[in-house]
Amino acid sequence: MSRAEAFSDGIFAIAATLLVLDLGVPRPDPTLLDGFLHEWPAYAAYATSFLTIGIIWVNHHAVLERLERVDRGLLFLNVVFLLFVALIPFPTKVVAHYLQSGGDYAHVAAAAYGVAMILMGIAFSVLNYYASARGLIKAQRRLGFWTQVRYSIGLLMYVVGTGLSFVDARIALIIYAGMALYYVVEPLTASEPSAH
102-121 residues in contact with a copy of itself (CB under 8 A) are 105, 108-109, 112
Q: How far is the CB of 94 from a copy of itself (least distance, A)?
A: 5
Total residues contacting a copy of itself by CB under 8 A comes to: 72
- Which parts of 19-39 fold into alpha helices (H)? 32-38
Which listed range, 130-138, 146-154, 155-163, 164-172, lies at the site for a copy of itself (CB under 8 A)?
Answer: 130-138
CA–CA dist 125, 155 (Å, integer): 9
Q: Which amino acid is at 73?
A: G
Q: How far is the CB of 37 from a copy of itself (least distance, A)?
A: 11
User: Is the Cβ of residue 115 or residue 159 nearer to a copy of itself in the bound state?
Assistant: 115
Site mask for a copy of itself (CB under 8 A), range 69-108, x = bound: xxxxx-xxx-xx-xx--xx-xx--xx--xx------x--x
Element spanning 171, H or E: helix 169-189
136 lies in the site for a copy of itself, by CB under 8 A:
yes
Q: Which amino acid is at 23?
A: L
DSSP 24: P
User: Is the Cβ of residue 35 or residue 155 nearer to a copy of itself in the bound state?
Assistant: 35
CA–CA dist 147, 66 (Å, integer): 13
CB 128 within 8 Å of CB 149 = no
Instruction: Collect all residues with Cβ–Cβ distance below 8 Å to 65 and sequence separation of at least 6.
Output: none
Q: How far is the CB of 18 from a copy of itself (least distance, A)?
A: 7
DSSP 1: -
Packing angle of the helix pair 72-87, 89-101 (nearest 10 deg): 20
Q: How far is the CB of 171 from a copy of itself (least distance, A)?
A: 18
**Region 6-65 residues binding a copy of itself, contact defined as CB under 8 A:** 6-7, 9-21, 23, 25-26, 28, 31-33, 36, 46-47, 50-51, 54-55, 57-58, 61
Q: How far is the CB of 195 from a copy of itself (least distance, A)?
A: 7
Q: CB neighbours (10 Å) of residue 155?
A: 16
